[in-house]
């Protein structure tokens, strides 16, 4: 039996006999008193670009970090775009350098020490630093679960209308869904735990529509509940769909450098860049970690 901490969606609470979420090496496990419930926290840090653009150009972040992308953040983003496009002195390269300097400090003094610290302490074997992108993070989980030898229930690409998916499909560990909305946006989700007795499945999700510093756990009692939670306003839209991806899948919005070997190489490259100083290093760090082309990096105790 699973439940999410009502005060913190980054914490999953499980009964002592429940299977740990997968990939289990990624989670910091804390036993409860007397052998009771167990808590799991993912050793994951998100570098959300939305936290940097408004901050540099005057938008207040204190309230926004708690409430998600508010009107203040949107105005800051719009103002930033205007500065980038209209001010002669604010070139795109200068913007990348400036943001990269802030990102470097966050990575060097906060995110990388946090992830590596949990690994060094033996509380987790893996750690991820990722952009807050739902599809990329869902594919990371799919690949890591696959590499643990856990087979998902999806053996071939399936594309269904939301109403059909809600009625016909059950979830298993490692199953990945790409929800496609009528306006062309998407949301990627991967299942990390299942309790068949309680008719529950657990997901760990990024969400580019929010400001997040860690992924959040969600529990669904059925595929119907998941579809209605995320797609209630799109059920009748002829363009909306639900795509189920097998573990060897490719998808136009997901690069193959999300494979674990490439993410490990990315972590080595990030460590190298963090040690550099100057505009070239700042620019490279920004583009590697916080732009639309960024992919996650993986730290492994081995």
Mean pLDDT of 129-153: 93
* Mean pLDDT over the full length of the chain: 83
Long-range contacts, 50-54 (Cβ 8 Å, 24+)? 50/77, 50/132, 50/211, 51/211, 51/213, 52/99, 52/102, 52/103, 52/290, 53/77, 53/80, 53/99, 54/80
Q: Which residue has the tokens 């708690």?
A: 66
Mean pLDDT of 148-170: 89
Which tens digit of pLDDT belongs to each residue from 232-260?
Answer: 888 889 999 999 998 887 655 555 678 88
C-alpha span between 218 and 231 (Å, rounded):
15
Which tens digit of pLDDT belongs to each residue from 82-107?
Answer: 444 443 334 445 656 777 888 889 99
Share of the chain above pLDDT 90, in %: 52
Q: Which residue has the tokens 């494979």?
A: 259
Which tens digit of pLDDT belongs to each residue from 164-202?
Answer: 999 877 889 999 999 999 988 899 999 999 998 878 999
pTM equals 0.84
pLDDT band at 60 (very low <50, low <70, confident <90, very high): very low
C-alpha span between 81 and 235 (Å, rounded):
34
């Amino acid at each position: 039996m699973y439940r999410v901490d009502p005060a913190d969606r980054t914490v999953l609470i499980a009964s002592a006999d429940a299977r740990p979420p997968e990939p289990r090496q990624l989670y910091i496990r804390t036993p409860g008193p007397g052998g009771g419930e167990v808590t799991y926290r993912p050793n994951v840090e998100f570098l959300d670009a939305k936290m940097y653009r408004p901050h540099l150009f005057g938008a207040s972040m204190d309230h926004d970090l708690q409430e998600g992308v508010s009107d203040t953040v949107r105005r800051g983003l719009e103002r930033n775009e205007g500065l980038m496009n209209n001010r002669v002195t604010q070139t795109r390269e200068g913007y990348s350098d400036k943001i990269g300097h802030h990102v470097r400090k966050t990575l060097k003094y906060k995110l990388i020490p946090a992830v590596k610290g949990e690994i060094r302490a033996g509380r987790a074997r893996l750690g991820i630093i990722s952009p807050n992108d739902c599809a990329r993070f869902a594919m990371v989980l799919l690949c890591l679960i696959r590499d643990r030898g856990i087979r998902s229930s999806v053996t071939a690409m399936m594309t269904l209308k939301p109403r059909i998916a809600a009625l016909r499909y059950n979830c298993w560990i490692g199953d990945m869904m790409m929800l496609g909305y009528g306006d062309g946006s998407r949301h990627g989700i991967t299942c990390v735990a299942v309790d068949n007795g309680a008719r529950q499945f657990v997901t760990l999700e990024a969400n580019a529509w929010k400001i997040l510093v860690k992924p959040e756990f969600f529990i669904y009692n059925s595929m119907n509940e998941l579809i209605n939670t995320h797609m209630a306003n799109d059920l009748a839209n002829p363009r909306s769909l639900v795509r189920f991806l097998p573990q060897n899948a490719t998808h136009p919005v997901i690069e193959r450098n999300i494979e674990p070997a490439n993410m490990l190489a990315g972590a080595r490259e990030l460590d190298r860049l963090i040690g550099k100083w100057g505009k070239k290093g700042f620019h490279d760090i920004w583009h590697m970690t916080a732009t639309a082309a960024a992919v996650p990096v993986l730290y492994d105790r081995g």
